[in-house]
Structure 1
């Protein structure tokens, strides 16, 4: 039976994931997912592509979202009281301007020390509105291009078999930073074909394939980027004749919100053709 084997939210965009056993799925993704974002002093978002040490930061957010705890090896933990009444500032995410609530100098100094570059931390304001594209449009906080990323274990197994065949080390699932991991699908890449999916109380609609970038080359434990994998191997079999880049996993929009839990059955209501 296909079921949910992992649920992971990423409270701070680009930082380590926070695995959970159950979580509310909102219209904009897992509750508190990418609710916070690190920027430079001009408001441009930071990513592991340019700041791989973000992976060393382990955030924990309280259930109500009023407290954020940040931990990283070699520095003292920081406990932040989230304040949505602080000044708004302009932020830029993939060339699009949004607003963010600056969380003050103390957390800015903390991130600046960890990353080694002057940084600020912003929070999604309550008035935030953002529509994501794809076959099923959705909404998102500061996620790259869709509210929910789904990857199956069989998809990763297929990649790892190819890596092993060329003498490369297998990669863990966290390299791909999914929100929902599905076990029990016999074939890889079925997340590419699922068009309507019910999990627990929630219903998802397929949006698009997940385009993969250099973040997949960052060791999520050490925050160090090295080597060409998995981009090199994905280029052998996960490319599109009409789109640039390589693809693994799929983005989904939220059709019906609800609670998700580990072990929930993954029921596909309709299937479609792969975009590759």
Structure 2
């Protein structure tokens, strides 16, 4: 039987994740997932691709989403009331224009000092109407694309087996920043073929493979970046037709609901892998 073994949401895009035992799954993903984003003064999003030290920022948000705290070793903690309804400013995510509610000068100053570059923090506005792509369209906050990223334990085990063959150290699941980890599938990359999933009270539809980038080379505990693993090994057996390498799968939310660690994962429909 396949089950959910880990649930993680990422309140601030690019920053550390928050593991939870249970969560409400909304149309845009786990509650508060990628609701906030660090941007330059010009509104362009910051990412671990260019600012790996984002990984060292540990967010904490209260269940109602009214209070946000950011902590980083050596930089202390900043706490702010969340502005969820103020005027929105233009922001840029992968060249696409969105809008974000600026969270003020206090957190902006803290982030600018921590990252060593002028930065602001924005929140998804109430009228955020993003439509995501893939076989099953959906929505999300400031995630790279779809609402949910799922990786199975068998998929990581296969990568670590291949890394060992190359004399490389195994990698933790956190390196790939999934929202949901599933265990119990014997074959790696089973998530690639699952077209319809039910877990807890929620139902998910397959959107697309997750194409990986340089963020996978960032140690999520320290913010240190090194290479060429895991991209070198993945390129040997997971190269996607459209370019890049695939690891894990993106899903859209078809039916919101509560999801908990330990929930059985039921596949309602299988398909062929796009790889």
TM range (shorter): over 0.9
| Aligned-partner SS, 2:85 | coil
1:119 to partner: Cα distance: 0.3
What CA distance in whole angstroms lies between the structure 1 residues aligned with 2:114 and 2:234? 31
Q: How high is the TM-score relative to the length of structure 1? A: 0.99
Could you give the per-residue CA deviations for residues 98-155 of structure 1, whole angstroms, max 9, x where no partner exists?
A: 0000000100011111111110000000010100000000100000010000000000
Are positions 1:22 and 2:22 aligned together? Answer: yes
Are positions 1:42 and 2:42 aligned together? Answer: yes
Q: Is the 8 A contact 1:86 1:103 kept in 2?
A: no
Q: How high is the TM-score relative to the length of structure 2? A: 0.99
| Aligned-partner SS, 2:89 | strand
Q: Which runs of 4+ in 1 moved over 3 A?
A: none
Q: Is the 8 A contact 1:66 1:81 kept in 2?
A: yes
1:183 to partner: Cα distance: 0.7
Report the count of equivalent residues: 275
Runs of at least 5 residues in structure 2 that lack an aligned partner in the other structure: none
Kindly report which structure 2 residues correspond to 1:164-243, keeping only aligned pairs within 5 A, or say none. Answer: 164-240=164-240, 242-243=241-242
What CA distance in whole angstroms lies between the structure 1 residues aligned with 2:75 and 2:95? 32
What CA distance in whole angstroms lies between the structure 2 residues aligned with 1:195 and 1:85? 37
What CA distance in whole angstroms lies between the structure 1 residues aligned with 2:76 and 2:156? 35
1:49 to partner: Cα distance: 0.1
Are positions 1:254 and 2:214 aligned together? Answer: no
Kindly report which structure 2 residues correspond to 1:111-122, keeping only aligned pairs within 5 A, or say none. Answer: 111-122=111-122
Query: Who is 1:269 aligned against?
Result: 268
What CA distance in whole angstroms lies between the structure 2 residues aligned with 1:176 and 1:183? 16
Q: Is the 8 A contact 2:34 2:142 kept in 1?
A: yes
1:60 to partner: Cα distance: 0.8
RMSD: 0.6
What CA distance in whole angstroms lies between the structure 2 residues aligned with 1:17 and 1:206? 23
